Structure formats: C-alpha cells, structure tokens
C-alpha cells in the first residue's frame, strides 16, 4: 500500500467521523449518497506499488471505493445483519471470489482485483442503504434529484473535453480523446466515465433518471440535465447509447397518462411542426450521420459476432457449474491456451458466465431481475414504474454491447439508482430518529 493511499484513507475516515460527530449526516443522511456522487464528479485513482507480472500494469484504487467503504464503516448499524435474499447473493459472490483465488489460475491479477472491487463496491452500497433504510424514509426523490447535478456536471465536462481534445481527468489530464479505429480519426468525449463507450453507456443510464426528474419536478435544471446528457451522448459516438435512450423515451411515452394532457390547437401545431422538422432534418442529414457513426467512427458491430463465436468454440465447453476461466481472465485465457488475440468481452452477462461459471451467472441474472421486481413493487406511480423498467432495460442493452464489467462508474451509478427505488421509502415525509 502506498503512502498516498494510506494518507487518503485516514483523511477520509477522520473527515467522515468528524462530520458524523457534528451530526452533519445524521439529520440529512441522504448526504451520504451525495458524497458518493461527488467523488464520481471528480474521478481520480491512487496508483499502488503493485504491478501485474503478465500485463505489466499497475493497480489503481478508486477514490470512490475508499469513500464508499468509509461511509459504511462510519455508519454501520445492526440492520445490516437482517436476513435478505440480497445478502445471500452477495455472500455467495464474495465466496466465489475467494474460491477463485485458490482454485483458478489467475493470469491477470490487476483485472481480477478491479472486478472484485466493483462487486465489493456494489455490496457496500447495498449495506449503506440497509444501514439507513429507516432513517432515509421520505428522501428517495431527494437522492434521485442529486443525479440531476451529476448529469449537468458530466454533460458540461464532456463538452469541455470535446472542445479541448483532452480527458482532463486526474492522472490522465493531457490524454487526447481521439479514436482511431475507423476510416479517419474522430473525437469521442468520455466524461467522468474515463472511456468513450463507458461514457456512452453512462449517458443512457443518466438519461433515464434526469428525464424522470423532469417529468416529476418540471424544473429548468432537470431540463438542462436532459439536454446536456443528450448532447454528451452524441459526443461519445456510442451507437448503442442512442438506441437505449430512444427505447427509454418510448417506455416513458407508453406509460404516460395522456388522458390528463390538455392539448390546445397551438400546442398540437407546435408538436407536429417539431416532429416534421425533426424528420426533415434526419432525412437531409442521414448520409452525414451514417458516415460519422459507421465509416469515420468504424463499423465494429460485426466483430462482436466473431467474438461470440470464439467464446462458443473455445470457452463455453470448459465452463463448469462452479468455475469459469476466472474473474477478469478471458483475454489472457483465450490467448494463452488458443493463441487468439481478443479484446475485452463486449457483454457483461456472458462475461459473468464464462469467467465465473453457471451458478454465479444464474444468480447474477436472477438478482438483477429480483431487484427490478422489488423496484416495481415499491413504485407508487406509473411514471416511476416506467423509470424502473427504463433503467433496467437501458442497462441491460448497454451492458451487453460493451464491456460494462470494467466500467466501474456505470456499475456504481446503476445500483445506486436501483437500490434507491425500494430501500428508501418515498411515501412518508417524516423523519424517524434511529440510533445506530
């Protein structure tokens, strides 16, 4: 452990402990979630002295992980010991990680640790919500509203990146955002997600919550978040994100109570004129759009099917009920044994299957469906149900067309939102004083 990392951990723990002593978080406990989002807005990782002997890459520890762990340690309560199905899933997941340490040949230790950190972070987020599940009564929407500010920051940050052609992220400040896989070099914004495809996936996830916030609140800041998120998504040139955002809008449209809408002749004319203008603009710009997204940016969709073929041919026959090729080991495994040089697997669910085995894959799939069902049951309005479905669908689509397993920020944001649906009551407006 480096001195920088140790000092940062001590400072975070002392700072949070001091704030708790001053009851800063006690009467407004949703500030904890705001603090996590704040660390996402200023992303930086601390380099450790550990270097992987195979990939020759150093292990970086995210500041967000440290803050999440510190919040959990400072605010842990007896409620985390209550039996839940989520606990069973996470305990089995942690046990599987330990099992792999002793029973799977780990070729790339940095990848293994990074994916383990993602799982641990999600578990800690759940435990934080669990610790404050009673204290948080009535504050669910406040937590959703925090994402408006995250989206505004990310949108502006992405635009500045595009203008300056720099990532502007700590440790990677002067790295350019040029993408070279297509016919010509193109710029692709990355935002706080650190890579272009991760940024695109994040934009789709953020769109679901800021669009919901605008429908519920009708505030200018929420509308600004929607616009900035769409602009940022465009700048990432992540095609699946466009599809996901379109699907999200369709889900909201079908869930909306149109009978309650009073359309005047003027409003109807404005809507029809806008729709006609959009169709004409799309028709006139179609060639330019196609050239940008598929020629200049590169048509990489076909490679995914080649990759799936490699997985089916070389990996799936060796996947067992309790064991896969190892967490984060797909690329190293397929190259070491079959001399196939590949990129990270562009589907999170299939990646879980081949790296962790059939049991964890089934549990992972069931867990995500389970929390969706709980979110729907906890949603007391049609638009909130649409939000839950939209969030789940968007994440499912994006995570299975890009290597979402390596997108730490996206996974943290997604599960922060999903747990907030059903672990924080939105019906009660009162505050219950709960002693830890």
- Please report which confidence band the pLDDT of residue 59 belongs to, taking 50, 70 and 90 as the band edges: confident
Work out the mean pLDDT of the chain and round it to a whole number. 83
Q: Highest mean pLDDT: which of 25-29, 139-143, 405-409?
A: 405-409
pTM: 0.88
pLDDT at 435: 36
Q: What would the pLDDT profile of 412-422 be if each residue is shown by its tens digit?
A: 999 999 999 88
3-state SS track over the chain: CCHHHHHHHHHHHHHHHHHHHCCCCCCCCCHHHHHHHHHHHCCCEEEEEEECCCCCCEEEEEHHHHHHHHHHHHHCCHHHHCCCHHHHHHHHHHHHHHHHHHHCCCCCHHHHHHHHHHHHHHHHHHHHHHHCCCCCCCCHHHHHHHHHHHHHHHHHHHHHHHHHCCCCCCCCCCCCCEECCCCCCEECCCHHHCCHHHHHHHHHHHHHHHHHHHHHHCCHHHHHHHHHHHHHHHHHCCHHHHHHHHHHHHHHHHHCCHHHCCCCHHHHHHHHHHHHHHHHHHHHHHHHHHHHHHHHCCCCHHHHHHHHHHHHHHHHHHCCCCCCCCCCCHHHHHHHHHCCCCCCCCCHHHHHHHHHCHHHHHHHHHHHHHHHHHHHHHCCCHHHHHHHHHHHHHHHHHHCCCCHHHCHHHHHHHHHHHHHHHHCCCCCCCCCCCCC
pLDDT at 184: 64
- Please report which confidence band the pLDDT of residue 58 belongs to, taking 50, 70 and 90 as the band edges: confident
pLDDT at 274: 60
pLDDT at 185: 76
| Whether residue 374 has pLDDT greater than 80 | yes
More reliable by pLDDT, 24 or 323: 323
More reliable by pLDDT, 39 or 362: 362
| Whether residue 169 has pLDDT greater than 70 | yes
pLDDT at 55: 67
Q: Which of 79-83, 88-92, 384-388, 411-415 has the lowest mean pLDDT?
A: 79-83
Q: Highest mean pLDDT: which of 72-76, 264-268, 333-337?
A: 333-337
| Whether residue 307 has pLDDT greater than 80 | yes
pLDDT at 175: 87
pLDDT at 29: 67
């Amino acid at each position: 452990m480096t001195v920088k990392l140790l000092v940062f951990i001590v400072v975070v723990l002392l700072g949070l402990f001091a704030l708790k002593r001053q009851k800063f978080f006690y009467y407004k406990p949703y500030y904890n979630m705001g603090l996590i989002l704040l660390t996402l807005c200023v992303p930086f990782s601390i380099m450790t002295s550990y270097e992987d002997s195979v990939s020759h890459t150093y292990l970086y520890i995210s500041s967000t992980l440290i803050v999440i762990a510190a919040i959990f340690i400072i605010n842990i309560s007896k409620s985390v010991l209550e039996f839940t199905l989520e606990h069973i899933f996470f305990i089995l997941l942690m046990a599987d990680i330990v099992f792999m340490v002793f029973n799977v040949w780990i070729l790339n230790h940095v990848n293994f640790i990074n994916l383990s950190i993602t799982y641990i972070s999600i578990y800690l987020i759940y435990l934080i919500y669990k610790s404050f599940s009673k204290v948080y009564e009535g504050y669910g929407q406040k937590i959703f509203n925090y994402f408006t500010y995250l989206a505004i920051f990310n949108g502006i940050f992405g635009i500045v990146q595009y203008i300056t052609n720099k990532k502007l992220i700590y440790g990677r400040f002067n790295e350019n955002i040029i993408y070279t896989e297509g016919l010509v070099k193109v710029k692709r914004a990355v935002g706080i997600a650190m890579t272009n495809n991760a940024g695109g996936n994040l934009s789709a996830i953020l769109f679901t919550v800021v669009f919901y916030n605008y429908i519920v609140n009708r505030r200018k800041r929420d509308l600004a978040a929607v616009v900035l998120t769409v602009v940022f998504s465009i700048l990432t040139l992540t095609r699946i994100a466009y599809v996901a955002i379109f699907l999200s809008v369709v889900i909201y449209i079908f869930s909306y109570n149109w009978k309650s809408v009073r359309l005047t002749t003027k409003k109807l004319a404005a809507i029809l004129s806008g729709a006609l203008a959009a169709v004409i603009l799309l028709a006139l710009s179609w060639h330019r759009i196609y050239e940008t997204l598929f020629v200049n940016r590169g048509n990489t969709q076909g490679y995914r099917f080649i990759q799936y073929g490699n997985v089916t041919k070389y990996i799936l026959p060796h996947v067992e009920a309790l064991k896969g090729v190892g967490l984060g080991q797909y690329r190293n495994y397929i190259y070491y044994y079959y001399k196939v040089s590949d990129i990270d697997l562009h589907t999170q669910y299939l990646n879980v299957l081949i790296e962790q085995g059939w049991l964890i894959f089934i549990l992972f799939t069931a867990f995500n469906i389970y929390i969706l069902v709980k979110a729907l049951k906890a949603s007391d309005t049609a638009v909130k149900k649409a939000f839950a479905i939209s969030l789940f669908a968007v994440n499912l689509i994006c995570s299975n067309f890009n290597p979402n397993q390596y997108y730490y920020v996206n996974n943290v944001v997604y599960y922060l939102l999903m747990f907030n649906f059903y672990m924080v009551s939105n019906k009660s407006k009162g505050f219950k004083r709960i002693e830890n």
